[in-house]
Structure 1
Amino acid sequence: MARIVTASTMAAMDRATMDEFGLPGRILMETAGREAARIIRQHYPLRDTPILILCGNGNNGGDGWVTARYLLGWGAQVSVLLAGSPEKLTQNSLINRSLYEKAGGCVLTADNDSRLAGHRGALQRAALFVDALFGIGLDRDVKGHFATLTDTVRESGKSLISLDIPSGIHADTGHVLGTAFRSDHTITFGFAKPGHFLEPGRSHRGILHTVDIGIPEVIYGKIPSDLACTDPEWAKEILTMRSPESHKGNFGHILLVAGAPDTRGAAVLAATGALRSGAGLLSLMVPEASLPLPGIPPEVMLHTVGGNNRTGFDDTALQSVADLLEGKTLVAAGPGMGTSSSAARILQRLLDCPLPLVLDADALNLLALHPELMEKCCRRPHTTVLTPHPGEMARLCQTSSTAIQQDRIAAAVCLATDSGCHILLKGASTVAATPEGFCRIVTSGNPGMATGGSGDVLCGILAGLMAQGLPADEAVPLAAYVHGLAGDHLAKNKGPIGYLPSEVAHTIPRIIQTTCIPPNRENPGHE
């Protein structure tokens, strides 16, 4: 699983490498610039591509000076535009500017709009821009001639490569700070940053290249990161082949509480997701008024309880819960469950049961509507997973969805650590947070999945994986990763929009086979 670090953690690693390990910052900068130049050479014909490298005053600009020197030595048509003040260059940037100039490099200076306008010809002649303006330390809006330069380059339509992160993107949140580059490639140093994966930063980065700049392994151990992202190698480590002696009892028995009459399809989608992800058995509890359930898999064991068309579940349904909990491995509740007072009493009973619990959709709305239920949820000694989208998250946290979206990682980690629950904050750049404060960013998924029913399928996948024995800290991000990969497969093969959540559910076995589980050895046979 790929490690991710915040800007402050990366800076701490750099400092520790210099101060404790004794590796000079110039060496780190030299390695970063050389590796950046190497990747540029791999993707662009240097002798036929006029390159303009945009440098700021800081160490990101220093990386740019080194990159320029290597490209110049390899025969590239390269110039540097210093967008800052020459007097404010950091020491290492000043040294590397001098080395670049000694190698015969050309430097243009533009520290205000007037001087920038004087270099319009150089900007127009460039076929490739390299962005080394700000890097990962930016924490304020891009303004003045920096904003003019950013907009000019972006609007030119020319190829653009960013060093570390596209300038104007917040490294920790992915937000645009005023204005930002939209790059074809981003070359980041040491480790990837959250802003490479969180929108809109993810859409601005282009192809991401992560390069090793020589930070020693001993430093990694001293400065651990509580962030990671999902990837195929990580998934392969989690999903293993089943024993030939397996039977359905080995893979869990889920009780799914869902499907009020007006939203009965949610129960079908969640049940399908659970079975397609490999759950051994699934019992579905629905109000009798929800029948029939078109499309329900015949493998589902259906249990109808008291209910009506007005409230969904009624109070008589509560009498069936205890019997239905017997022999179950896990409970999932919420998809299309409704928010009636009877549904609230059912949820209260489920919160008391000694089983892992996955709460989605209306179950989350009930927690937000009834603070005493949320308090009970937080006190549960058993594993509990909450799977909100930003609106549901806002209601749970008594804030706005805008506030949640401002820092998705912080919001998810805060709720997870405060509640003791595992949190899956859905949406563009889904994040999974544990009660211990560890967070994984899910790297799969696409906008075509933004349609009603997608969350129900995801709830089912998650319940299915946990029922098979995966711990929540693995199952929660893996469910979202598999779900997103299934959507990506359909977007590639059917088109970017118009495929259905039910199709996503039916694609899951293929995704698990081709992406997550290592190829199986040939079965032994007879000659």
Structure 2
Amino acid sequence: MRVVSAEQMRQIEEKAIHHYGIPSLLLMENAAWAVVEEIRRNLLNHQEQRELSGRKAVILAGKGNNGGDGLAVARHLVFQGMDVTVLLFAGLEELKGDAALNLRLYQGTSGKLFEIKGQEQRRLTRLALAQADVVVDALYGIGLRGALPGLIEEYVDEVNHSPGWVISIDIPSGVEANTGNVYRTAVRAQATVTFGLPKWGLFLGEGPDYCGRVIVDPISIPDAYLEDEGISTFVLMDEDIRTSLPVRQLKGHKGTHGKGILVAGSKGMSGAAVLAGRGALRSGIGLLQIVTAEGIANDVDACLTEATVWHAPGEDYLNEEAWSVINRQSRNAQALAMGPGLGQNLQFIPVLEEILRNLSCPVVLDADALNLVAAEPSLLGLRSGRGPLILTPHPGEMARLCQCSVEDVERNRLDITVAKAVEWEAVVVLKGSVTIIASPDGRAFFNPTGNPGLGTGGTGDVLTGSILAWLAQRVPPLEAACLGVYLHGRAADDLANEYGWSGFTASEVADQLPKARHVIEPKR
């Protein structure tokens, strides 16, 4: 699914209205119905009642089109039999166009309306919110930049402390549509109904913390109208992953299912090699060969009986002599990954140089391999024209690679990931609460799966192994990165459904990968 900036969405809407002749009032009416349907779905699914009659709704409306959407929602809820109160944070005369028309239509119903001009309505608002079954946030839409006005902030805090179910229209008020930034406060919604296409801010910055469940409604803008808009940012969906999954043939065997080389582990970090290997095996690799330091090789071998473990010189860490082993085992390999638990031994840098310069198969760099690259930034230039490259940094590693602060990375996640993917001619996977996968051609993909349970040691190693496995199965690099990230998050979501957002381990995430894939893949 495409994801857009606020400016792109406005251009799409303008084109739909002026070029294709879709009335703006129809778009607003469709937006209102989408919100009403989500309110019905939530309230009636969680209650024994079959109708909304008698339930209470509070709509906080601003003066713009977002407020107009809210007034249309209010009118429909009145017709559904709800007791509706609109709190209008503008003078009646300030509403224009479609918003003004929806104000007049609402005023013709039995719904209540109060203009909020200052602190004197605070008690009234607090009482209405305390009694509300649902609170609709229609204060600000995708045009907001910067912080909310002071008076609005105070009322938003009241919303965030109210017991009712909160739903935001298009984007929670206070969240910037392009960045996800929240400057002081914003509405914390349990659900957000966004229109046309989802906005960047729902996936960036603090946006995911405020938007709750995201529902995308096309509001009657046909897909065909979006095809020539030059949109290069997407959110991954089940159908994207389904089409990328490799098809296994009845005559397939370990050779046809791919050979992958994993260069990983050091003294005290043998578990990282084991977890990455487990992620690869659970993602269907045919042959996994692990190259690790001689001093820990037996430990890794004992934990991964299905893999072949090759001893390379080095008691505690792999050193410059490891290249001969890696080079020999990489013959006929479809992919190589290195970094998990490798250690930051500078003696390994010449080996990293040889790998980047000489291997034509796709190479994945993670963890300590990235830290070694950060120490020698010119290393990435060796890969140009040699073969595909995937980098999988977390924000700290990305900051070291870019020689900037972690705050700079987090503040500019999308821009910096795309820019570096183009500059490094690599697929870049910037891990986080919403992982971003960027391609050298400038496309970017938001991953919607995963949860805070992944914030535990070893889950990144599992991801590296999983990407290695998809590459070994001859999935193209960009698709392999998307497959690995999406299914890794999906596996964690399945575990969270059983255990909640904490307490499951990286090993359990790896073991859940086949089930996560099986649910999505076409049935044969």
| TM-score, scaled to structure 2 | 0.93
Q: Which of 309, 324, 331 matches 2:336?
A: 331
**2:212 is aligned with what amino acid?**
G
Size of the aligned set, in residue pairs, is 515
**2:98 is aligned with what amino acid?**
N
User: Does the Cα contact within 8 Å between 2:242 and 2:521 map onto a contact in 1?
Assistant: yes
**1:17 is aligned with what amino acid?**
A
Superposition pairs for residues 470-485 of structure 1, below 5 Å? 470-485=475-490
Q: Which of 203, 209, 227 matches 1:197?
A: 203
Q: What do you get for the CA RMSD once the two structures are aligned?
A: 1.9
3-state SS in 1 of match to 2:86: strand
Q: Which moved more, 1:228-237 or 1:384-393?
A: 228-237
Q: Which of 472, 492, 497 matches 1:467?
A: 472
Pairing 1:375–2:374 present: no
Question: 1:381 and 1:90 mapped to 2: Cα distance?
Answer: 59
Question: 2:478 and 2:455 mapped to 1: Cα distance?
Answer: 25
3-state SS in 2 of match to 1:47: coil
Q: Which of 47, 63, 69 matches 1:63?
A: 69
Pairing 1:361–2:360 present: no
Question: 1:380 and 1:337 mapped to 2: Cα distance?
Answer: 26
Pairing 1:22–2:21 present: yes
Q: Which of 303, 310, 314 matches 1:307?
A: 314
Q: Which of 216, 219, 222 matches 2:225?
A: 219
Q: Deviations over 1:293-319 (max 9, x none)?
A: 25532221211111133xx12332233
Question: 1:197 and 1:98 mapped to 2: Cα distance?
Answer: 36
Superposition pairs for residues 17-56 of structure 1, below 5 Å? 17-44=16-43, 45-56=51-62
Q: Deviations over 1:223-278 (max 9, x none)?
A: 14212222222222222541101121112211111112231221111111111111
3-state SS in 1 of match to 2:262: strand
Cα drift, residue 362 of structure 1 = 0.8
3-state SS in 1 of match to 2:135: strand
Q: Deviations over 1:349-407 (max 9, x none)?
A: 00012121111011100110012213324x24411000000000111111111111113
Question: 2:347 and 2:235 mapped to 1: Cα distance?
Answer: 40
Q: What's 1:90 paired with?
A: 96
3-state SS in 2 of match to 1:291: helix
Question: 1:199 and 1:297 mapped to 2: Cα distance?
Answer: 39
Q: Deviations over 1:130-177 (max 9, x none)?
A: 110002222211131110110011112222111111111222333323
Sort the Cα spacing of 1:125 and 1:288 in 2 relative to 1 into closer, same or farther, 3 A: closer
3-state SS in 2 of match to 1:307: coil
Q: Which moved more, 1:118-127 or 1:296-305?
A: 118-127
Question: 2:249 and 2:521 mapped to 1: Cα distance?
Answer: 13
Pairing 1:243–2:268 present: no
Q: Which of 175, 195, 214 matches 1:169?
A: 175
3-state SS in 1 of match to 2:269: helix
Sort the Cα spacing of 1:238 and 1:314 in 2 relative to 1 into closer, same or farther, 3 A: closer
Question: 1:107 and 1:25 mapped to 2: Cα distance?
Answer: 24
User: Does the Cα contact within 8 Å between 1:368 and 1:374 map onto a contact in 2?
Assistant: no
Q: What's 1:449 paired with?
A: 454
Pairing 1:516–2:516 present: no
User: Does the Cα contact within 8 Å between 1:308 and 1:314 map onto a contact in 2?
Assistant: no
Question: 2:107 and 2:379 mapped to 1: Cα distance?
Answer: 67
Q: Deviations over 1:412-463 (max 9, x none)?
A: 1111112111011112111111111111111111111111111111000000
Q: Which moved more, 1:318-327 or 1:157-166?
A: 318-327
Superposition pairs for residues 100-249 of structure 1, below 5 Å? 100-116=106-122, 119-198=125-204, 200-249=206-255
Q: Which moved more, 1:244-253 or 1:2-11?
A: 2-11
User: Does the Cα contact within 8 Å between 2:450 and 2:492 map onto a contact in 1?
Assistant: yes
Q: What's 1:525 paired with?
A: none
Q: Which of 483, 486, 489 matches 2:491?
A: 486
Q: What's 1:406 paired with?
A: 411
Q: What's 1:523 paired with?
A: none
Structure 1: which 5+ runs fail to align? 521-527
Sort the Cα spacing of 1:90 and 1:250 in 2 relative to 1 into closer, same or farther, 3 A: farther
Question: 1:484 and 1:140 mapped to 2: Cα distance?
Answer: 32
**2:87 is aligned with what amino acid?**
L
Q: What's 1:268 paired with?
A: 274
User: Does the Cα contact within 8 Å between 2:356 and 2:386 map onto a contact in 1?
Assistant: no
Sort the Cα spacing of 1:38 and 1:497 in 2 relative to 1 into closer, same or farther, 3 A: closer
Q: Which of 318, 321, 341 matches 2:323?
A: 318
Question: 1:115 and 1:190 mapped to 2: Cα distance?
Answer: 35
Question: 1:26 and 1:494 mapped to 2: Cα distance?
Answer: 46
Structure 2: which 5+ runs fail to align? 44-50
Question: 1:358 and 1:105 mapped to 2: Cα distance?
Answer: 60
**2:282 is aligned with what amino acid?**
R
Cα drift, residue 199 of structure 1 = 5.6
Q: Deviations over 1:314-365 (max 9, x none)?
A: 3322333332222211111111122222211110000012121111011100
Q: Which moved more, 1:382-391 or 1:312-321?
A: 312-321
3-state SS in 2 of match to 1:38: helix
**2:140 is aligned with what amino acid?**
F
Question: 2:413 and 2:73 mapped to 1: Cα distance?
Answer: 34
**2:9 is aligned with what amino acid?**
M
User: Does the Cα contact within 8 Å between 1:166 and 1:182 map onto a contact in 2?
Assistant: yes
3-state SS in 1 of match to 2:35: helix
Question: 1:344 and 1:216 mapped to 2: Cα distance?
Answer: 53
Sort the Cα spacing of 1:459 and 1:241 in 2 relative to 1 into closer, same or farther, 3 A: same
User: Does the Cα contact within 8 Å between 1:260 and 1:336 map onto a contact in 2?
Assistant: yes
Question: 2:320 and 2:478 mapped to 1: Cα distance?
Answer: 35
Q: Matched residues, percent identical? A: 36
User: Does the Cα contact within 8 Å between 1:269 and 1:453 map onto a contact in 2?
Assistant: yes
Q: What's 2:46 paired with?
A: none
User: Does the Cα contact within 8 Å between 2:241 and 2:482 map onto a contact in 1?
Assistant: no
Q: Which moved more, 1:52-61 or 1:291-300?
A: 291-300
Q: What's 1:524 paired with?
A: none
Question: 1:81 and 1:494 mapped to 2: Cα distance?
Answer: 40
User: Does the Cα contact within 8 Å between 2:257 and 2:472 map onto a contact in 1?
Assistant: yes
User: Does the Cα contact within 8 Å between 2:393 and 2:430 map onto a contact in 1?
Assistant: yes
3-state SS in 1 of match to 2:433: coil
